[in-house]
Chains A and B, each alone.
Chain A
Amino acid sequence: MSSSPYSGSELPDIANSDFQPNLSKRYALDQVFEQLTWIATFIGLLVLCLLLYDIISDGASRLSWQFISSFPSRRPATAGLLSALVGSIWLLCVTAVLAFPVGVGSGIFLEEFAPDNFFTQLIEINIGNLAAVPSIIYGLLGLQVFARLMRPITGGPSILTGGLTLALLILPIIIVATREALRAVPNSLRQGGFAVGATRWQVVRDLILPQAIPGVLTGTILALSRAIGETAPLITIGALTFIAFLPPLSLEGLQTDFTALPIQVYNWVSRPQPAFHTNAAAGIIVLMLVLLLMNTTAVLLRNKFQKGRM
């Protein structure tokens, strides 16, 4: 094992020291740990690359404008995922519009306004638990409450139902991310704000939120990335797999049936014909491109806001 990187450095010896620096052993541990973390990173990357390679080698040949701009079909060669892509984008927008204000609002309330008592601690524990509930449970809830009980409003297993269900699913993640971001803002800033006669809301709006917004946005977009990949709750609420129309861009559009990318992929994978499996791989590539786009947006937004604050 190699020892100190500073071989040859000779400080004068001190006689009878109570210290035994044992530098070579400490440096050795240092290196062992560095290598362990490197191996961990490498394993993650390797698995990811293998998956990517597998998918791309299967599906890249199928990617074409025709594939993206066609409706599903019984013949694999003419099938496309237009309705699934548009459905996913619709879902994403509805989910974001519903989950962002509620999640960020609850985060702000719990962190900045709520007193620290039994009731709020109960809420806190429950939010932590909700984040760990399997997504299919949310699907069952969505089926009963949104698709059945609220049918007059949502129109059954519609985009709105899907968006509401996914919004519930990612709400705890957004709340936790918001609270983390708010907690990272130093208390001295709040004190400074109060000391010039600001109310609680003015302190939050003008001093705390501008500092926390990059973290809030990152958390929200990561949560949305999770939502876009969810299959189980959408299948549970009864999303269809064969949709040969695009939802109209209107309020009624919210109440129409829909399909989404992961559902389409799931459907193709379960077909016996190998050509459909190629379609599935191509569908996964599209899904990943959408995810990549979202994560890039997250990074860009964060950088923009970080530059904006002083």
Chain B
Amino acid sequence: MMSNMTNPTMISDSHAHTQEPALKMEGVSIYYGSTPAIREVYLDIPPHQITAFIGPSGCGKSTVLRCFNRTNDLIPGAQVKGNVFFHGVNLYSKKIDPVEVRRRIGMVFQKPNPFPKSIYENIAFGARINGYQGNMDQLVENSLRKAAIWDEVKDKLKESGLSLSGGQQQRLCIARAIAIQPEVILMDEPCSALDPISTLRIEELMQELKAQYTIVIVTHNMQQASRVSDKTAFFNAEATEQGGKLGYLVEYNDTVNIFTNPKQEYTRDYVSGRFG
């Protein structure tokens, strides 16, 4: 059961140390049951930048991403070893409440999953349950504006979030993530169900958001990674003796370097499409 051991001061304020990484992984290995899925990841996510995770299907990108907001906790049998730091605080320390972590580190999923509530409620829900004290109407409008969807929905805030198109739903989900004023937004293939125009809008959106937020995005689209991200991490999976696959971080660098001058052969093959 999720005990409430919150100590809000445990997670320090972001703006105090902008030079330090927003998120840091130190020797993180992740297991599903007794099967390892990811081994020994060391990774620094810089603040106010966009970091892209790329790699073949099943190499563990989503698994690593879920580590940052402790959503792996919700999967029965999933286990995280090693340390994940958020502004220097270990997210997996006993004193940290995962519910608080998830408010500070938001998430957008691959498939748009708006709540079956009104558009307004979709945004207000997270704020309300987290005890937001400010003006709710204002928050809803601001969040929808930041997610570049305000003009499309301002006249039908009472309608169901499910009545929107896929691309609009995804932007609604981004607005929902913004509304709880996180510092980091994790995005797991946010554009994989969208058409090129919606994809472009969301990419533009990310560029605007990075002034305020740290963004980590998983993508299968090489162009997208090279277009939007500042840093890129390439993950790969190797066959294990038990016949399974074990993911690991191959290379992590500035996006330009990953795409024009990768150090590893694997990376070169993958980004140039000669993989496999």
User: Measuring CB to CB, which residues of chain A are less than 8 angstroms from any residue of chain B?
Assistant: 113, 115-116, 186, 188-200, 202, 206-207, 210-211, 309-310
Once the chains bind, are A192 and B109 in contact (CB under 8 Å)?
A: yes
- 1/0 per position for B1-37, CB-CB distance to A under 8 A? 1101000000000000000000000000000000000
- In the assembled complex, the CB of B32 is this many whole angstroms from the nearest CB of chain A, namely 14
Once the chains bind, are A192 and B115 in contact (CB under 8 Å)?
A: yes
Residues of A within 8 A of B71 (CB): 191, 194-195
Secondary structure at chain B's binding surface: helix, strand, loop or mixed? mixed
Residues of B within 8 A of A199 (CB): 2, 4, 99, 129
Residues of A within 8 A of B176 (CB): 192, 196
- In the assembled complex, the CB of A149 is this many whole angstroms from the nearest CB of chain B, namely 34
* Interface residue B259 (Cβ < 8 Å from any Cβ of A): no
Once the chains bind, are A195 and B116 in contact (CB under 8 Å)?
A: no
Once the chains bind, are A196 and B180 in contact (CB under 8 Å)?
A: yes
Complex Cα distance A196/B99, Å?
9
Complex Cα distance A197/B176, Å?
11
CB nearest neighbor in A for B163 = A310
Report how many A-B pairs have Cβ atoms within 8 Å.
77
Complex Cα distance A199/B73, Å?
13
Complex Cα distance A135/B177, Å?
51
Once the chains bind, are B173 and A310 in contact (CB under 8 Å)?
A: no
Secondary structure at chain A's binding surface: helix, strand, loop or mixed? helix
* Interface residue B125 (Cβ < 8 Å from any Cβ of A): yes
Once the chains bind, are A197 and B2 in contact (CB under 8 Å)?
A: no
Residues of B within 8 A of A192 (CB): 109, 113-115, 173, 176
Complex Cα distance A115/B1, Å?
9
Once the chains bind, are B109 and A202 in contact (CB under 8 Å)?
A: no
Residues of B within 8 A of A211 (CB): 116
Once the chains bind, are A113 and B129 in contact (CB under 8 Å)?
A: no
Residues of A within 8 A of B129 (CB): 196-199, 202, 206
Complex Cα distance A211/B162, Å?
14
Once the chains bind, are A191 and B161 in contact (CB under 8 Å)?
A: no
CB nearest neighbor in A for B103 = A197
Complex Cα distance A310/B116, Å?
5
- 1/0 per position for B148-183, CB-CB distance to A under 8 A? 000000000001111100000000010011011000
Once the chains bind, are A195 and B102 in contact (CB under 8 Å)?
A: yes
Residues of A within 8 A of B117 (CB): 310
Once the chains bind, are B1 and A310 in contact (CB under 8 Å)?
A: no
* Interface residue B46 (Cβ < 8 Å from any Cβ of A): no
Interface centre among A195, A199, A202 (most CB of B within 10 A): A195
Q: Pick the contact of A197 from B116, B118, B130, B163 — CB < 8 Å? A: B130
Once the chains bind, are B106 and A196 in contact (CB under 8 Å)?
A: yes
Once the chains bind, are B109 and A188 in contact (CB under 8 Å)?
A: yes
CB nearest neighbor in B for A207 = B115
Complex Cα distance A271/B116, Å?
57
- 1/0 per position for B224-238, CB-CB distance to A under 8 A? 000000000000000
Residues of B within 8 A of A189 (CB): 113, 115-116
Residues of B within 8 A of A309 (CB): 116
CB nearest neighbor in A for B107 = A195
- In the assembled complex, the CB of A202 is this many whole angstroms from the nearest CB of chain B, namely 5
Q: A206 with B125: in contact, given A115-B76, A196-B103 (CB under 8 Å)?
A: yes
Q: A210 with B107: in contact, given A196-B126, A199-B99 (CB under 8 Å)?
A: no
* Interface residue B245 (Cβ < 8 Å from any Cβ of A): no
CB nearest neighbor in B for A195 = B107
Complex Cα distance A115/B75, Å?
11
Complex Cα distance A309/B116, Å?
7
* Interface residue B100 (Cβ < 8 Å from any Cβ of A): yes
Interface centre among A189, A199, A200 (most CB of B within 10 A): A199
Residues of B within 8 A of A193 (CB): 115
